[in-house]
Structure 1
Amino acid sequence: MTTSASPTNPAAFRGIWPALLTPLNADLSIDHAKLAAHCKSLIARGCPGVTPFGTTGEGPSFSLAERKEAIEQLIKNGIPASQIMVSTSCAALPETLELTRHAVNAGAHGCLMLPPFFLKGVSDQGIIDCYRYVIDGLADDRLKLYLYHIPQVTGVGLSHHVIATLRDLYPQTIVGIKDSSCELQHSLGLADAFMQQLTVYVGNEPDLPALGRRGSTGAISGLANFLPQLVHRLVTQPDEPGTVQDLARVKELLAILGGYALIPALKGVMALLSGDAAWLRVRPPLVAMSDSAYDALSEQIRTFGIDAKTD
């Protein structure tokens, strides 16, 4: 078994910070009260913090004003700013900078930022320049930035050269990497190259034990919207006897969800567990589950079984 020493950057987050689903009202505006209640429930179940407006949260589908208001409402409704990590990625760099400044000024733990995701075929230098535009434009020592690699969504990846350059330029600002490529060997390569300076986290839950053995201390996880304790065990207790069973359950659940569009299906699970069909709403271009699909998913999830006390 290959292991590495614990990461040396103490500023990086620990534990499971769920990649929040975003509940919507009938007019497809954000349901702030329900979002805050969801956050409180997750924190009560042991999550140190939450991550709104990432891929799972449909982040790019919301305007700057909506996203800023949502963070303000979370804080107003009792979620400590220090327990919020804000995904601030936008297609336009000035908007990413504006959201990042807003998050830092609100006192958020940190920010999660994608590489440029509209234009394709951009060079490493172009990606570095995008991050520099935001970091230099903000020029605030309070910023803690997590680099977000999810090339199957963005069409743009983060090379080792990009990561090393940004780490060397901004050693106090760049504190972690979220790798959602769903390629274990890529994640292990990042851990071997950077874990001494940066914490590497994976978004693909079956890969959590392998990264836990390399020193990863947590995750930003979509499944943690309803399985936060199980996900936590996978990364922090990778070699405990129960991990084999936990891993099998995660793989079984992902196989179920794989039969549907992922984000609508995740919201379908939330609707079933909460008894609140409003959770089914998504913002275009996503399409909510049909009645027949939701009925089928509900039957599968009931058979699978989710226990709020242990999962």
Structure 2
Amino acid sequence: MSHSLWHGVLPAITTPFHADGSVDHAFLAAHARQLIDAGCKGIVPLGSLGEAATLSFEEKLAVLKTLVKVLGDSAPVIPGIASLSTDEAVRLAREAKSIGCRGLMVLPPYVYSTDWREMGAHVKAVIAATDLPCMLYNNPVAYKTDFTPSQMAELAAEFPNLQAVKESSGDVRRFAAIRALLGDRLQLLVGMDDAIVEGVSMGAVGWVAGLVNAYPFESVKLFELAKSGGAKAAESLYAWFLPLLRLDTVPTFVQLIKLVQEKTGTGSETVRAPRLPVAGAEREAALKVIEHAIATKPSF
């Protein structure tokens, strides 16, 4: 598989739910198709934004089957592989390959986090489970596990199929540190929406994006401007988009992004408990941001 798998905008797709809490597969399929038609290069389901921790193993497989079926050869499905246990994560990786997924986003285990000996053993088991190209997801804020550049280098030396890293530490200096140690061995992707222009300027070739669920054309345009012309070229669109993109970096990011989808007609704010739709002052503040963005949306 070419390293081009990791290039461009890759939506961390939300999981739509019916009012009764079941997965809305018809909407999921249509939404994925719309994202690809808008210029996105692949779909990343079963991530944090996809509420994967609340999905059963069988529901995860059903989501993957729906996406692979609707996208076919037009775009890759690259699921997040995370679980409470290593055994289940390995099983999910193998099932993802058998369903037809073309890459994997490898996460540390949910909830439990200790040292490199254990966390390294977990991701090594998942990467080794198949020959699919893999992207390591580093998000110490959410998962309490921080994969350092030297640890990434160890993984890259052992596993040829580890091709990329989704960097979400919040420290843009990490891009330079990874590049200094590994050169072009690993493709760099931005994992925090409000760091996309900065990440691209530091060598990122892809963006695993969140607000793209509500604004796919604008997300693709922002990425393309940042890649082709740098911060200056992206400045105007970034200024409009940033208040929305910052909704991706708070604890209630799932509820907020789904609220943006609700208000833009690109989805529903229905979430799965223990999450609840945002309320009170937080909702009022978010709605001001969303309404301003809708009223001032740029045209291309």
TM-score bucket (shorter structure): 0.7 to 0.9
Q: Which residue of 1 aligns with 2:52?
A: 59
Change (3 A) 1:270 1:79: farther
- Report how far residue 232 of structure 1 moved: 2.0
Q: In terms of mean alpha carbon deviation, does 257-266 or 17-26 score higher?
A: 257-266
- The alignment status of 1:47 with 2:44, answered yes or no, reads no
Higher helix fraction (1 or 2): 2
Identity %: 23
- The alignment status of 1:215 with 2:203, answered yes or no, reads yes
Change (3 A) 1:274 1:292: farther
CA contact (8 A) 2:193 2:245 kept: no
Measure the CA separation in 1 of the matches of 2:158 and 2:98.
23
Q: TM-score, normalised by structure 1?
A: 0.85
Q: In terms of mean alpha carbon deviation, does 204-213 or 154-163 score higher?
A: 204-213
Q: Which residue of 1 aligns with 2:256?
A: 265
Measure the CA separation in 2 of the matches of 1:285 and 1:296.
22
Instruction: Kindly provide the amino acid, as one letter, of the partner of residue 126 in structure 2.
Output: V
SS in 1 for 2:28: helix
Q: Which residue of 1 aligns with 2:238?
A: 247
What pairs with 1:1-311 in structure 2 (closer than 5 Å)? 10=3, 12-80=5-73, 82-120=75-113, 122-136=114-128, 138=129, 140-141=130-131, 143-171=132-160, 173-227=161-215, 228-233=219-224, 235-239=226-230, 241-255=232-246, 261-274=252-265, 279-290=268-279, 294=283, 297-305=286-294, 307=297, 310=300
Gaps of 5+ in 1: 1-8
CA contact (8 A) 1:115 1:158 kept: no
Higher relative contact order (CA 8 A, sep 6+): 1
Change (3 A) 1:296 1:260: farther
- Report how far residue 30 of structure 1 moved: 1.1
Post-superposition Cα deviations, 1:148-187, rounded to whole Å, max 9, x if no partner, equal: 001111111112232111100112x100000111221223
- Report how far residue 23 of structure 1 moved: 0.8
Change (3 A) 1:307 1:92: same
CA contact (8 A) 1:16 1:231 kept: no
- Report how far residue 52 of structure 1 moved: 0.6
Instruction: Kindly provide the amino acid, as one letter, of the partner of residue 155 in structure 1.
Output: K
Instruction: Kindly provide the amino acid, as one letter, of the partner of residue 85 in structure 1.
Output: I
Instruction: Kindly provide the amino acid, as one letter, of the partner of residue 278 in structure 2.
Output: M
Gaps of 5+ in 2: none
Post-superposition Cα deviations, 1:180-211, rounded to whole Å, max 9, x if no partner, equal: 11221223322333341000111123432333
